[in-house]
Chains A and B, each alone.
Chain A
């Protein structure tokens, strides 16, 4: 049995573990565009100088040999022939598969901005280790002390985390009115904005870059929608990430924004599976298809895909968006739907303080969204409420308690939930 996996990160790793748990003999080929396996989300810590390059691997060093893999590093899959079941690499290499897993992840979105040229020095995206390395070099070489980040979403903020550690003053621009638009509401965003201001950085809302100015292929300045001009030598473009589905363009594979898969992580093609940031699957809360590009989702999806590739019917029960972020010492965790209006049938509970914010969003007596800023202790319990679809009507007003925990849940819920993991109550 030949298994081929295109893309080598957390989804692939978990798929490999699954496959090997059921099939120790089958051949597994992995195609990685990177030089080595590492954890992409750690690049912000690398940039900040918190970890070194050789500390970024999230599995043991001998993973490839331990799991008996043949990994093609620094190789890109050129195309796939789904009929002949062949994967073509550059340099005329071709591999045949019985089962294929596509975990090509995501690529940064580069918006169409007047004056943008990919060869302009000083403009970076921030998704791979190379990005972080180049950025670090650039900062040191040019003694950068200020920068502009286009996009206040997760990638932008992760880049910000790294840059702030070098005491670089930032101007973060976002088209919405808030930072982390996908997960935060305006109020939560204010806590981070306040910290940024204290640091000498700035958040520019409801704005975007309409023109980039360069001289001699070096970045000079940018112009915003409201005509404001900012001189800068460093621009990070972080407006978004989209699934990397280039390899399946013009094929029979069904895609939307990402590769469409069912609950077995199976694409529309029988022996082809997909997992990770590249897939589009059911959002647990909204029940609509969406891309949920987070590490835990990729891990679980990879695991499910791997099991199903060896022919075990294992379902993926879906994920919802969640994020944990820390900026300038302010920790935060968010889950699910956080930017909704009361009028749409949602019940919103809020508790806040000067350095603390807690918001719970409820629909049909079930928690569907949570934001925690400042104090994230025990935050995971709220995620559990969402995942287990607990009916919170009997203890709704206790949800905001500082000491919210298992004791607040009614006894029968407690018993049911925790007995699974041997908490006898």
Chain B
């Protein structure tokens, strides 16, 4: 199963990974359309932590024993047999248990449509996740575990 790994020493803090992730998860999937029409309502599953000159991007680790999965009240958070932790928006009620138990703090409330949690899904429908593909300095890489 592929995992995305961040390289702190090459992250510039440009946050383009956030831009491309939000675009990929938007309705229109077009970067200009997404930002112009859905501004203020965009959600990126990856986000950049910043402290002075140190920056790096973090997203769902798809933990082997994911606390969000066993803490989910509705079963909306589940693990595929490939080991990817996915989120079923339809089932989610926005109880925020997952946000509470995620030790990495990578799940975010999506307060736009239905107050449901939002997180990385490893861009399963793409060959290379959007963040990895578009990082200008190759600070995000895929490793196969």
Give residues in A with beta carbon < 8 Å to B: 14, 39, 41-42, 45, 50-51, 55-60, 295-296, 299-300, 303, 322-324, 326, 331, 333, 335, 376-381, 383-384, 387-388, 403, 405-408, 417-418, 421-425
CB neighbours of B15 from chain A (8 A): none
Are A45 and B93 in contact (CB-based, < 8 A)? yes
Pairs across A and B, CB under 8 Å, 19 listed: A41-B95, A296-B67, A326-B94, A331-B96, A376-B100, A377-B99, A379-B99, A380-B101, A380-B105, A384-B104, A403-B49, A403-B50, A407-B50, A407-B54, A407-B56, A418-B61, A422-B5, A423-B5, A424-B5
- List, in ascending order, chain A residues with CB within 8 A of B93's CB: 42, 45, 50-51
Q: Point out residues on B near A: beta carbons under 8 Å.
A: 3, 5-8, 49-51, 54-56, 58, 61, 63-64, 67, 70-75, 91, 93-97, 99-109, 143, 145
Contacts of B71 in A (CB 8 A): 295-296, 299
A residues in contact with B7, CB < 8 Å: 424
Query: B95–A406 contact, CB under 8 A?
Result: no
Q: List the 7 shortest-distance A-B pairs measured between CB atoms, nearest first.
A: A378-B105, A384-B103, A380-B102, A58-B75, A421-B61, A407-B51, A299-B70
CB of B8 within 8 A of CB of A379, answer: no
Bound-state Cα–Cα, A50 to B145, Å: 39
A58 to chain B, nearest CB (A): 4
A208 to chain B, nearest CB (A): 29
Known A-B contacts A331-B96, A424-B7; the reply to A295 vs B73 at CB < 8 A is: yes
> Would you call A300 and B70 a contact (CB within 8 A)?
yes
If A41-B95, A51-B93, A377-B108 touch, whether A421 touches B63 (CB-CB below 8 Å) is yes
Q: Which residues of B contact A51 (CB under 8 A)?
A: 74, 93
Q: A380-B105, A407-B54, A422-B143 are in contact. List 17 more A-B contacts (CB 8 A).
A: A55-B74, A58-B75, A60-B75, A295-B97, A300-B70, A326-B96, A335-B100, A376-B109, A381-B105, A406-B49, A407-B51, A408-B51, A421-B63, A422-B145, A423-B5, A423-B58, A423-B61
Contacts of A418 in B (CB 8 A): 61, 104
- Central interface residue in B7, B58, B63, by most chain A CB within 10 Å: B58
Which residues of chain A have C-beta atoms less than 8 A from B97's C-beta? 295-296, 324
**A362, chain B: closest CB distance, angstroms:** 19
Contact for A381 among B51, B103, B145, CB less than 8 A: B103
Q: From A423, which residue of chain B is reached at the shortest CB distance?
A: B61
Which among A300, A303, A387 is the interface contact of B103 at CB below 8 angstroms? A387
User: Hey, which chain B residues are within 8 Å of A335, CB to CB?
Assistant: 100
Cα–Cα, bound, A39→B95 (Å)? 12
What chain A residues lie within 8 Å of B5 (beta carbons)? 422-424
Give the shortest distance, in Å, between B48 (CB) and chain A (any CB): 10
**Which residues of the partner chain B approach A376 to less than 8 Å between Cβ atoms?**
96, 99-100, 109
Question: Which among A42, A322, A423 is the interface contact of B100 at CB below 8 angstroms?
Answer: A322
Residue of B nearest to A39 (CB): B73
A422: chain B residues at CB < 8 Å are 3, 5, 61, 143, 145
| CB nearest to A59 among chain B residues | B75
